[in-house]
Amino acid sequence: MKGFNTKTISYVVMVGLLSILLTACGGNNTANQQATDTPVTTSEASATATDEPAVQETEVAARDAFVVTDQVGNTVNIPGTVQKVYAPGLEDYLVTLGVTPVAQWSTGERPQQYLQDTLSGVKEISFANGVPSPESVVDLEPELIIFPTAFYAQNGVYENYSQIAPTYVFKNALGNVVEATETIAKLLGLEDKATEAIAAYNTKLEATRAQLASVSAGKKAIYINANARAIFLVGNFHYGGYVLSELGFAQSALVEGEMSADISLEMLSDLDADYIFINDNDGLGDAFLADIKASPLWKALPAVQAGKVFEVDGDHWRSSGLIAYQKTMDDIVAFLLP
């Protein structure tokens, strides 16, 4: 499995996923985005239906135990049958495969809302202060633990968690969701389920790309994520930025080749995008956004003057997985082809 371009990421504090969450400033901190970044903003498109079939719990067939090397070089002994999985930040992938985790990631106030039709009632574990202690997980008796990024496993976390259960660590599972889905499926013995889900995703992706061809050709689109600490331009390696790229939109030069980049008032005149999608993380970015929107530089942007700025709602824009990405596709279609 190939890794992702992380040369511009500076990890300031141990945080939990879906950037899950701590104080890191700046868009170059991927972990920061994932944590608090898991829902953001407001939009009429959020109500758009997604075509995924209803999730049904998958029966895992018995098989022999086996040994794998994870993406950061750890040797992991995978049990023959895995029924109890703890994979914070990877709940989308598990739900896609018909698996209910023993616990789900939370900001400390709420889990990922777009998955609650399936995961309502599943124990929530807060990542508000970074990766929680092993004591918060041990009573769940997981048979396999999966971390979405190597960041989660730093500073002795892997050593402690791997004493609870075999622990597999991705370098970064949040970008190429197809590869990550395939890997998780192999760990759980659910390859057929993954093949089916990926085929449905690719079919939807191709259909949506064709549907948007008339508005995407030669156009740039940017996804902006705002939270209590800063405003970030999100690159095309993950989240809504990845989806926009997959649908055929070019990206702004400000974030090209980057996971994310801070945006300041001084940078606004360089924001080269025909479409701007803004996700205000549960209103946490209100102050930053108000300053930017009041700026003459913002008001002079072609996208602003053309009425092509869209405030998007839903944590799926700040999440990764086949379900999140399909919901994001639906939103984009609803905005651009009303």
Pair 193, 70 in one domain: yes
Q: Is 263 helix (H, G, I), strand (E, B) or coil?
A: coil
Structural tokens at position 59: 């029966």
**Domain total of the chain:** 2
**Do strands 144-147 and 104-106 pair parallel, antiparallel, or not at all (unpaired)?**
unpaired
Q: With a cut of 50, say whether residue 9 has pLDDT above it.
A: no
Q: Which of 34-48, 125-139, 263-277 has the lowest mean pLDDT?
A: 34-48
- Mark which of 167, 197, 227 sits at the end of a domain: 197
Q: What is the mean pLDDT of residues 42-67?
A: 53
Q: Is residue 6 part of a domain?
A: no
Residue 11 has pLDDT above 50, yes or no: no
Mean pLDDT in the chain?
A: 84
* Alpha-carbon span 234 to 252, nearest angstrom: 10
Q: How many CB atoms lie within 10 A of CB 2?
A: 9
In this predicted structure, what is the pLDDT of residue 57?
Answer: 53
Percent of the chain exceeding pLDDT 70 equals: 80
100 plus 176 within the same structural domain: yes
pLDDT at res. 38:
40
- Cα separation, 279 vs 274, in Å, equals 17
Q: What is the dihedral of CA 232, 238, 243, 247, to 10 degrees?
A: 100
Cα 78 to Cα 143, 146, 166: the distances in Å are 9, 11, 7
Write the CATH number for 290.
Answer: 3.40.50.1980
- Other CB atoms within a 10 A radius of the CB of residue 317 amount to 32
**Do 173 and 221 reside in the same domain of the chain?**
no
Measured between alpha carbons, how far is 160 from 212 in angstroms, rounded to an integer? 47
Who wins on pLDDT, 260 or 137? Answer: 137
81-128 pLDDT, tens per residue? 999 999 999 999 999 999 999 999 998 889 999 999 999 999 999 999
CB half-sphere exposure, 277, CA atoms < 13 A: 32
Q: Give all strands (DSSP E) within 214-329, no chain letters.
A: 221-226, 231-234, 260-262, 275-280, 309-311
pLDDT at 262: 83
- pTM of this prediction? 0.81
Residue 31 has pLDDT above 70, yes or no: no
Distance between CA atoms of residues 10 and 48, nearest Å: 36
Q: How many residues does the chain have?
A: 338
- pLDDT at 175 exceeding the cut of 80: no
State which of 173, 197, 221 marks the end of a domain.
Answer: 197
Residue 259: is its pLDDT beyond 90?
no
CB of 242 within 8 A of CB of 259? no
**pLDDT band at 186; cut points 50, 70, 90:** very high
Mean predicted confidence (pLDDT) in 183-201 = 98
* 141 and 261 housed in the same domain: no
Give the pLDDT score at 59.
56
Higher pLDDT: 51 or 264? It is: 264
Residue 147 or residue 4, greater confidence: 147
Find the domain containing 277 and state its range. Answer: 30-42+208-336
Helix, strand or coil for residue 334? helix
Of the pLDDT bands very low, low, confident and very high (cuts 50, 70, 90), residue 1 is very low
- Are 234 and 165 found together in one domain? no
238 φ/ψ angles, rounded to the nearest 5 degrees? -165, 175
Q: Assess contact for 7 and 16: CB atoms under 8 A.
A: no
Mean predicted confidence (pLDDT) in 266-274: 90
pLDDT average, residue stretch 217-231? 87
Pick from 58-67, 101-110, 142-151: least confident? 58-67
Helix (H, G, I), strand (E, B) or coil at 127: coil
What percentage of the chain carries pLDDT values higher than 90? 65
Q: How many CB atoms lie within 10 A of CB 302?
A: 12
Same domain, 76 and 184: yes
What ranges make up the beta strands (E) of 10-63? none
Q: Is residue 57 in a domain?
A: no
pLDDT at 199: 99
